[in-house]
A and B are shown apart, each in its own frame.
Chain A
Amino acid sequence: MNVRVWTFRCGRLSLRCGAALLLGVLSVLTGCDRPPQAHKTSVIVLGFDGMEPGLTEKMMNEGRLPNFARLRDMGSFGPLQTVIPPQSPVAWATFATGLNPGGHGLFDFIHRDPSPPQPGPPISPYSAMARTVEDRPWYAKPFIAVLGEEIEWGDYNIPLVSARHELLRHGTPFWQYLTEAGVPAAVYRLPANFPSVHMQGVSFRALTDMGTPDLSDSVGGNFSFYSSDKDFNFRQEIGGGKAYPVQIINGMVLPERAALTGTVKTVLSATEFILPGWHALEPRIDGFAGCVAVASRGSGRGECIRAIRSLDPVTRTITLETPFDFELKPEALVKVFTPCKLYGPANTTVNAKEKPALEASWTAYVDPDQPAACIEIGGRRVVMREGEWSEWQPIEFPMAYGLTAPALLPPVPAMCRLYLRCVRPNFELYVSPINFDPFEPAITFCSPDNFSAEVAGAIGRYYTQGMPENFNALKSLVLTRDEFLQQADIVEEEREKLLDFALDHFQGGLLFFYYGGTDLVSHLFWGVRDPEHPGITDEERVKYAETVEHYYIDADVMLGRTLDWAAENAPDAVIVAISDHGFETFSRGLNVNNWLQEHGFAKMGPFRPSEPLNINWAESRAYAMGINGIYVNLAGRESRGIVKPEDKQALLDEITRELLDEVDPKTGRHIVDTVYQSDRVYSGPYVKTLAPDLQVGYARGYRASWATGLASFGDSVVEDNTNPWGADHCIATHLVPGIIVCNRPLTAQKPGLIDMAPTILRRFGITPPTTLEGRDVFE
């Protein structure tokens, strides 16, 4: 999180006191926070991310998806046309707006600014779904005019110009037309919908998913892993998490390094002594509650831990809670430890050049002989056995220390789940990405503002970040496949509770509910279907042969609950289950920038090949970035562009032709199935400014390599994919259609995601605006 987003929320709390009454009256008048209202027409759409038509149909025919079959028997089943490229944010944005990517402005997970401010790289990548922008709310403007953009307050700068997230999906979502027409709507966890935009007029409820960050502002979430094993094999470079070394002293888990090591100068009493060397500690003096001193006996053998009651920075005196269990003598070695820390984002309010990270302390005690530990975190003690997952642990990240600053910069409320992998011989603790607490949402992941708390009050805390299955922990080898599935099951339980809540509170109108488990589990386990997959062992192929099916069955159970609920409460409801794309194995990756270089379109930059943005801009005519995109290094658009606009089309045709001809030397198969030229496949205001000039539609089994996303180079043009992420869908659009199952007969020959918005609007008697590109699939 950009902490300014939080200070904005806090600042808003204090600054809006005067405006609160007015806002309250307005919100009542406009009805933006109305309770759910009844409506005579009901449309329920369940979105199962990444459900593949072939497997779905096979399992239905085998009787393993009885509820999908039941829904099919009531109406129709078939493939659902997806979008170019078949990536979830792009697809769900089309679902939400009824527009092609040229109209809603999402073309990939990653976009690039072709001409960012200098100095800096000639292009700059960013997450396409949302960004953080400066915010000057009207009620802050008078204060900013008088006091400036921030107020210096001791060691802190209280920002008045703050920040907020901005949704980068453009176009009008169909529920806006619904709510304007008086139809209540509830949109649960739709991807690419963060931050949630509040609707006015009638009841509107929303929770967001994919695109919603964790506390560190990471869309995939940043886990933490603490291990006392110095040889732990951890792929830190992949991103999405960090490992921290710890050690165990007398059963207590402490950071690997002491904050201060010194010899006692003077012993004042059994619990008081003077320890020089404080300059090393003073910057961190605020975090000292809960520190421990470890003293060695004179001989250096044996250590004893005691909690510190107080520290006097003037006299350098340490006072302990209880005396050491041996007599402390001058010259004895004492180490002072701060507790282990969970880290958040940089605290930009600190008035210093180097901004320290937000921190929250935790401590663990390992039982002397049982395989269990007691972990103190967030003011609570959690007893965990090896292999056990904890409930959500609420924690606060202090923004400021001292007497007055915390009142102006209150702590950030958040939460995490713990997984105690083992305590002996090494202590290993996984901490989930730090999620925002739904009881006190610090960012706008729900509508209305108190909705996340209302849900949590009913079902307990839940993952608030998007894509909650922690695939990065598996990709970086911190969690094993089994441990990942345990975590995914926790997410699954939360989803089931959320669906029950959604159904219990649905009184007609529109209900959309998103289920992401089928996608993330398929990314990691669909690969077992490929007997040649280089990233999967024979043992894994057998052990996880049915894992994806297991999640399809879970999806079926959720559909069954919905059908049962509707049969009882809304027998006339239109029920539609869709997926945004299908799946394919991903066993070979094309290093697109290597390929461009080999074919004379690009040249590698001066850095190591794996460095991001490693393009020689002076000699490259094209570069690849994102998951499907290739951009022309166009003069007048790219800051270092060299291709004249009149030469662009010929270049695109040349690249297209050569890509389609490319054959994998290992398999002899074509790597690329289709190449889409943006000018030809998209229409709308964002094609010229944001779209990649080419979208590569890979053949089955292929995808862009891992390095391509950030414009890096690999070791070879085509490489084996040995990553646990062994399946994907970012390939040629026609190879990975989604599904549609509904309780009405489909009349459309080739129904597509783009048709869903007009179809839903028609069910409520609303004529879709002419800007919508699709058609009603039932008429």
Chain B
Amino acid sequence: MLKLLKYSLYNILRTRFALLYTLFLLMATLGIYSLDYDLSRVGLSLLNVVLLVVPLVCIIFATVHFYNSYEFMELMLAQPINRMTVFLSQILAVGLSLCLAFLIGAGLPMLIYGADSSLFYLLLVGVLLSLVFTGLAFLASVMTRDKARAIGITLLFWVYFSLIYDGLVIYLIYVFYDYPLEGATLAMVMLNPVDLARVIMLMQMDVSALMGFTGAFFQSFFGSAQGLLVSFSVLLIWILLPVWAAARVFKKKDL
């Protein structure tokens, strides 16, 4: 397993994509820092990068990588090696390299220019989101043989979670305006990893006052240790569930 992971990581490093991604994040973070000295505003700007760019890059890279290592997997599966080992080493290698790229790219400037607790939360949330979208990308990839279709599906995931879902939530809130919706919105937030990450971060940044009564309700939930534990657990489920589903499909996949 470790050996296979090592070779998979080596394969990724040689494509130089992870390096470019690190450099991009590094430059974006340094740029944000140089524009603003106020740490909370740095956090808000970085949050947008984490919520939009990181999932997009992760989902595209993981999908492309899966298809690029098709030959590698085929070669390995003709050897006396367990299928699950091959699958897990691939997904771990992609997840690890994306997380590492994010941690270096976004974390290094924080080490240099300083950070507060909310920025550390941002790093944690970014790592978790990277893993969520790596899992989703692998799920889409194992379900179809066609690379173009898989990329289409993964883009749909991204558009749905980043854009469409919010529209639906706002529409529902608008329609059911007269009813108490705090519980329902909380549930809806849990059903979208990007929203969940966003709300966790907003609560850390003390901007809940802008969000009226719902904001206060969220603050009382996400502000408590218990609420944070629940929301991070839900994010973990968002990582494990797609990986588990993808592993199940891969186990029976014809190569």
- Co-assembled chains A and B: no
